[in-house]
């Protein structure tokens, strides 16, 4: 039986974060995750998690100035100090609130060696900080149709980084939506990558709505990877067609409950 995590960056967004955690519990999610929780005090998040008994699986580093085109900082050679400050803030927040993983956002780059060297150095730094707190660092390939120029957009690139850095607490966040757009062949890729995967996320393709339609048969795919040994939670990171509550029928279909 697949267990699902509500991504509160997209779900229950009409509420503040503690309320959204409670709403996720009421909707029978098994865990939660978020994007940028920094307007909420860590103690407030921790209190809501304790009240509901839910785990907070992950959060993102601050992406920078989105209005100026930023979508992460860690691979930008001219912004190392800012990137490391945000990595530290994310790890500190995660440690204080009981969050299990930090997704370090690379950002848009020219794809050159300087950007790659910068990203790897910042990831090593992030792993050092996170290791001391028992926190996992995640990297996520993001499709270039939605985020043009994102530094990390393919699984082979993510694998090269994982292999080169060889940090036990560095894992791949495999978002099926992004990877269907970039490469497809999800089942075989997930099976091969399982030891390197820290989290899996889902959404319909191509519209990124509820995962009960579109190009991917998630009921089949999730059963396939469960049969291969994946026992982690699956993040519901989709944009509801109407309201979160109105679109939750997919959960029963995919979970087998």
Residue 253 confidence (pLDDT):
83
Query: How far is 201 from 230, CA to CA, in rounded Å?
Result: 13
DSSP output for 61-93:
-----GGGT-SBSTT-GGGHHHHHHHHHHHHHH
Q: Low-confidence residues of the chain, pLDDT below 70?
A: 256-257
Which residues, including other chains, have CB under 8 Å from residue 106's CB and lie 6 or more apart? 72, 74, 75, 119, 139, 150, 151, 152
Residue 256 confidence (pLDDT):
60
Q: In 10 A of CB 101, how many CB atoms? A: 21
> Taking Cα atoms as reference points, which of 156, 161, 171 lies closest to residue 100?
171
Beta bridge partners of 175: 201
Catalytic residue among 82, 140, 191, 215: 140
**Catalytic site residue 116?**
no
- Residue 157, classified by CB atoms within 10 Å of its CB into exposed (0-12), middle (13-18) or buried (19+), is middle
Query: How far is 27 from 37, CA to CA, in rounded Å?
Result: 21
Q: What is the pTM of this model?
A: 0.96
Are the beta carbons of 82 and 34 closer than 8 angstroms?
no
Are the beta carbons of 6 and 27 closer than 8 angstroms?
yes
**Unique residue bearing structure tokens 């009240």:** 51
Structurally, the chain folds into a number of domains equal to 1
Q: Quote the tokens at residue 159.
A: 């694998």
Residue ranges making up the domain that contains 78: 4-255
Residue 1 confidence (pLDDT):
76
Please give the biggest Cα pair distance in the chain: 50
Residue 252 confidence (pLDDT):
87
Q: The sheet that has 101-103: what strands, in order across it?
A: 55-56, 31-33, 4-7, 234-236, 197-202, 170-175, 136-139, 101-103, 59-60
Peptide bond into 206 cis (omega under 30): yes
Q: Quote the tokens at residue 180.
A: 């269907």
Give the CATH number of the domain where residue 136 resides: 3.20.20.150
**Catalytic site residue 86?**
no
Q: What is the CA radius of gyration of the chain?
A: 17
Catalytic residue among 33, 86, 210, 237: 237
């Amino acid at each position: 039986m697949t267990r699902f995590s509500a991504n509160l960056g997209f779900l229950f967004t009409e509420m503040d974060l503690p309320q959204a955690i409670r709403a996720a519990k009421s909707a029978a999610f098994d865990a939660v995750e978020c994007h940028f929780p920094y307007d909420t005090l860590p103690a407030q998040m921790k209190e809501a998690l304790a009240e509901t008994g839910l785990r907070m699986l992950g959060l993102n580093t601050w992406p920078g100035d989105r209005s100026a085109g930023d979508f992460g900082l860690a691979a930008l050679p001219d912004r190392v100090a800012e990137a490391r400050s945000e990595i530290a803030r994310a790890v500190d927040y995660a440690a204080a609130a009981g969050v299990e993983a930090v997704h370090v956002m690379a950002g848009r780059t020219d794809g050159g060696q300087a950007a790659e060297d910068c990203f790897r150095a910042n990831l090593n730094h992030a792993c050092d900080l996170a290791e001391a707190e028992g926190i996992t660092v995640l990297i996520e390939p993001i499709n270039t149709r939605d985020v043009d120029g994102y530094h990390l957009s393919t699984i082979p690139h993510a694998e090269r980084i994982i292999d080169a850095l060889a940090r036990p607490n560095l894992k791949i966040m495999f978002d099926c939506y992004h990877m269907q757009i970039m490469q497809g062949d999800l089942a075989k890729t997930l099976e091969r990558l399982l030891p390197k995967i820290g989290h899996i996320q889902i959404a319909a393709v191509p519209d990124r709505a509820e995962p009960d339609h579109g190009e991917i048969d998630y009921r089949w795919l999730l059963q396939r990877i469960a049969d291969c040994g994946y026992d982690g939670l699956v993040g519901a990171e989709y944009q509801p067609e109407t309201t979160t509550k109105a679109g939750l029928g997919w959960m029963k279909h995919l979970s087998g409950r």
